Amino acid sequence: MTAVRETPGEVDGDGTILDRGRAAMRVPVALLRELVDFLAIQGPGQSPQPPASFPPNLLSADVLDPVVIDLIKPITNASLKIEIAIRMGDDSSAIAIWATPTNAVLCTRLDSRFFDISGVTVSRLPDVLAETVVLRRPRFTAPTAIAVPSELMTEADRQREDPAKAREVLESGRDAFMNDLTSESIDYLVAFQAATTRRWRISTAWSTDRGYSTAELRGLDAGPYGQWTVQMAEVNETASMLFTPKGDGEMLAEFREVLPRYWINTALRSQGVEVLPTIPTNTDPPLASDPAA
């Protein structure tokens, strides 16, 4: 969600905004947990008096506004949680999606003090992931995957501010690791270090009849150098990073794979899973999913 329309009567003194027309709201970070915990202890059909700490513009007839309930309930009852961590240059951000089999909400943090929450359609979750992490649709797909020793990629990443030095590290390390990196492959690896490359990680957790399961997908949006998934792998008995190029349709298929085809409607909270997001700020260290992190 890029913005929440501020209209008269909807903005509270603490910055809380409720946009009933768009079924969206902005709430302070601490207030989101209060809302989730409050609704978690309410039984079906109950409408108890909200705490005095809740802003007046979230209330209707002295109880929580139905729009607020519709936006918070999928978090409280979430049986699917998706966290998307993104890094581009020195900027880090993250997005969370919570869902039951029938309802879902999207949460972004454009300001360190607030969460912006809006509804999304469950059936569109793969498309929402694509719209979130892929800024630039690939104009072409690289011909082959690239495997590079993790130690070598780490060393190259230390030189990310100087592409010529990063290239030198990769070229000299190629011989030391007896690696068959081509000059074209090195071109791609140097491009992956650029500040314009968008690195991302998608982590999912969902309820099953045996507890819960998790999955993770990592990748790069390298602009003119295309879209790639990133995996850790053993190549020739060497711990390596495997970069695999993906076309537009292929990347959407990858997003579908990281999501469950089916999950049961048991709240993750009841299984001890923390549902509220930990969203990084621009001062956080690089993502663990960064190439060479």
What pLDDT score was predicted for residue 15? 87
| 3-state per-residue secondary structure call for 192-234 | HCCCCCEEEEEEEEEEECCEEEEEEEEEEECHHHCEEEEEEEE
Range of the structural domain that residue 100 is part of? 17-133
DSSP single-letter state for residue 11? B
Let me know whether 123 and 186 are in one domain: no
Domain presence at residue 272: no
What pLDDT score was predicted for residue 47? 66
What pLDDT score was predicted for residue 291? 43
Domain presence at residue 48: yes
pLDDT block averages, 10 residues each, the chain of length 293: 40 81 92 91 71 90 91 95 89 90 91 90 94 77 88 88 92 75 90 89 95 94 90 85 90 94 93 76 43 40
Let me know whether 125 and 161 are in one domain: no
Let me know whether 38 and 128 are in one domain: yes
What pLDDT score was predicted for residue 1? 37
Measured between its terminal Cα atoms, the distance across the chain in Å is: 29
Domain presence at residue 265: no
Let me know whether 56 and 102 are in one domain: yes
Split into its structural domains, the chain has a count of 2
Domain boundary among 99, 133, 167: 133
What pLDDT score was predicted for residue 195? 83
Domain presence at residue 290: no
Domain presence at residue 77: yes
Let me know whether 184 and 94 are in one domain: no
Beta strand 227-235 with 114-120: parallel, antiparallel or unpaired? Answer: unpaired
Domain boundary among 75, 104, 133: 133
Domain presence at residue 264: no
How many other C-beta atoms lie within 10 A of the C-beta of residue 50?
Answer: 19
Domain boundary among 112, 133, 154: 133
Domain presence at residue 183: yes
